[in-house]
């Protein structure tokens, strides 16, 4: 029922009656993890393991999850590995070990575990045609690449399509319908089909998120050059909207990913926080937000400093056409970051406490997208990320603001106020 605080009291009351129950300790640890009390959760899981009368893979897995949330990914790998030593077919531990390895940049090990998603139920079970492709050349044959996971996953893995096509014969790519025109514009696949349409026959198949495991064994092997372009026939519809920003930096914002994604609340923020930080002189803000969070725009007072592009956006080809004419995109984690990064456009990504594994740890750059810059929050406090990005944007917009306002307009009002009141500046303050 997601009543985690009530669960907390119940588990603690149970432990007051019997402090030797390992299952109560680990359930308490799970509740604390959900409430972001990671250090306390780890203590609970370690206590559960010490009290358990037998080696239990679930207890080690729960410990690993809390260690991951606390940012201790190397220790989490050890916990997940112990769970798999006890129960080799324990799929949840193998999946979470994959993510821990990927956070650490251990791609060779991480991709191997990542394939468990195809047998664990995380990817809906299908019966695709042909044999599973192993990355070998396939001249004279037809290869079908299957869509999975979200929009961002397809945009991220699209970098491999030219390499896949170069290895063989006919290439058919399946993707979500909103991505079809954009993937077609790459002019790589022989055919692009929408997910949900009938699958054609094929000699071989491969799920799209298995491609990194075939071609990227380490960070140095990442193909990072821009690989997406907006279809030229989509550009004109946005030009009148951008002509209104002559002399200003054209900056788009996105404050939420898909609301159906389970962890969206940990990566999204509110529109007003973006306006507070980025609606500054010399900048014209645009919204690329789609979905239910668009409603926050309607709640703004009349004359708010942002232009909504969403009524003009029907699919990702439209989004790409808008991004192509921007100077910068500032956003929380969602598919638009992958799109803008794949186009080689500047992107500033604001990250919460537990970001996606793709963004690695601590660093402010990312080899997957050289034009993308990371602004990390400090724990659960987003203030540091917003403040750092706001300060950077103020510096970036300084020439535009200075060009629009006479130099004497920059004089601080404080000395004049002090003179008028016949007070010193210090007393006036």
Give the number of C-alpha atoms closer than 13 A to the C-alpha of residue 252, restricted to the C-beta side: 28
What percent of the chain lies above the pLDDT cut of 90? Answer: 81
Q: How far is CA 299 from CA 5, 293, 422, in A?
A: 32, 11, 44
Predicted local confidence at residue 409, as pLDDT: 43
Cα–Cα distance, 335 to 229 (Å, whole number): 15
Predicted local confidence at residue 411, as pLDDT: 43
Predicted local confidence at residue 353, as pLDDT: 81
The predicted-structure confidence for 173-220, as pLDDT tens digits, reads as follows: 999 999 999 999 999 999 999 999 999 999 999 999 999 999 999 999
Cα–Cα distance, 309 to 330 (Å, whole number): 15
Predicted local confidence at residue 410, as pLDDT: 39
Cα–Cα distance, 223 to 22 (Å, whole number): 47
Average pLDDT, the chain: 91
- The pTM of the full predicted model, rounded to 2 decimals, is 0.89
Fold of 131-221: Rossmann fold (3.40.50)
Predicted local confidence at residue 405, as pLDDT: 52
Q: Under a CB-based contact definition with an 8 Å cutoff, are residues 251 and 330 in contact?
A: yes
Which CATH superfamily is 232-408 part of? Answer: Glycogen Phosphorylase B; (3.40.50.2000)
CATH 1.10.150.120 fits 4-120, yes or no: no
Predicted local confidence at residue 317, as pLDDT: 97
Strand partners, 291: none
140 Ramachandran zone, left/alpha/beta (phi>0; psi -120 to 50): left
CATH topology match: 4-120 vs 131-221: no
Contacts 24+ apart (CB under 8 A), 265-269: 266/352, 266/353, 266/354, 267/332, 267/333, 267/334, 267/351, 267/352, 267/355, 267/356, 268/293, 268/332, 269/332, 269/350, 269/382
Low-confidence stretches of the chain (pLDDT beneath 70) = 261-262, 401-429
The predicted-structure confidence for 156-170, as pLDDT tens digits, reads as follows: 999 999 999 999 999
Q: What angle do CA 292, 296, 300 make, to 5 degrees?
A: 155
Predicted local confidence at residue 244, as pLDDT: 82
Q: Give the start-to-end residue ranges of the domains of the chain.
A: 4-120, 131-221, 232-408
Predicted local confidence at residue 402, as pLDDT: 66
């Amino acid at each position: 029922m997601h009543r985690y605080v009530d669960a907390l009291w119940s588990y603690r009351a149970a432990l007051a009656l019997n402090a030797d129950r390992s299952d109560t300790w680990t359930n308490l640890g799970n509740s604390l993890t959900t409430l972001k009390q990671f250090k306390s959760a780890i203590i609970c899981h370690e206590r559960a393991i010490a009290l358990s009368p037998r080696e239990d893979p679930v207890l080690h897995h729960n410990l690993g999850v809390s260690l991951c949330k606390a940012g201790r990914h190397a220790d989490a790998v050890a916990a997940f590995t112990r769970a798999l030593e006890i129960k080799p077919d324990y799929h949840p531990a193998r999946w979470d070990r994959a993510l821990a390895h990927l956070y650490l940049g251990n791609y060779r090990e991480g991709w191997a575990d990542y394939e468990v998603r195809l047998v664990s139920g995380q990817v809906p079970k299908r019966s695709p045609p042909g044999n599973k492709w192993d990355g070998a050349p396939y001249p004279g044959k037809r290869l079908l690449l299957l869509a999975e996971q979200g929009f961002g996953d397809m945009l991220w893995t699209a970098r491999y399509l030219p390499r896949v096509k170069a290895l063989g014969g006919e290439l058919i790519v399946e993707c979500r319908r909103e991505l079809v025109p954009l993937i077609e514009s790459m002019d790589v696949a022989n055919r692009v089909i929408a997910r949900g349409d009938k699958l054609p026959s094929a000699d071989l198949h491969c799920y799209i998120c298995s491609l990194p495991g075939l071609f990227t064994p380490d960070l140095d092997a990442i193909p990072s050059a821009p690989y997406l372009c907006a279809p030229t026939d989509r550009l004109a519809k946005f030009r009148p909207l951008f002509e209104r920003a002559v002399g200003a930096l054209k900056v788009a914002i996105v404050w939420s990913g898909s609301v159906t994604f389970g962890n969206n609340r940990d990566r999204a923020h509110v529109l007003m926080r973006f306006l507070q930080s980025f609606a500054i002189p010399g900048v014209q803000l645009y919204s690329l937000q789609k979905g239910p969070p668009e409603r926050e725009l309607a709640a703004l007072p009349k004359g708010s400093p942002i232009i909504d592009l969403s009524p003009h956006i029907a699919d990702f080809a439209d989004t790409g056409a808008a991004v192509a004419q921007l100077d910068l995109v500032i956003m929380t984690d969602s598919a638009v970051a992958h799109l803008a990064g794949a186009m080689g456009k500047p992107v500033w990504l604001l990250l919460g406490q537990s970001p996606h594994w793709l963004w690695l740890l601590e660093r402010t750059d990312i080899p997957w997208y050289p034009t993308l810059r990371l602004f990390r929050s400090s724990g659960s406090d987003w203030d540091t990320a917003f403040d750092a990005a706001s300060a950077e944007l103020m510096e970036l917009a300084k020439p535009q603001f200075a060009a629009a306002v006479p130099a004497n307009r920059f004089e601080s009002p404080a000395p004049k106020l002090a003179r008028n009141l016949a007070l010193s500046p210090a007393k006036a303050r």
